[in-house]
Amino acid sequence: AQSVTQPDIHITVSEGASLELRCNYSYGATPYLFWYVQSPGQGLQLLLKYFSGDTLVQGIKGFEAEFKRSQSSFNLRKPSVHWSDAAEYFCAVGLSYNTDKLIFGTGTRLQVFP
Nearer to another protein, 27 or 90 (CB): 90
Total residues at the site for another protein (CB under 8 A)? 22
Q: How many residues does the chain have?
A: 114
Among 5, 72, 73, 99, binds another protein (CB under 8 A): 99
Alpha carbon distance 47, 113 (integer Å): 22
Stretch that binds another protein, among 13-21, 31-39, 63-71, 73-81 (CB under 8 A): 31-39
Q: Applying CB under 8 A, does 52 fall inside the site for another protein?
A: no
Strand 108-113 and strand 10-14: the pairing is parallel
Number of helices (H) and strands (E), helices first, in the chain? Answer: 0, 12
Residue 85's closest CA among 41, 37, 48?
37
Binding site for another protein (CB under 8 A): 32, 34, 36, 38, 42-46, 49, 51, 88, 90, 94, 98-102, 104, 106-107
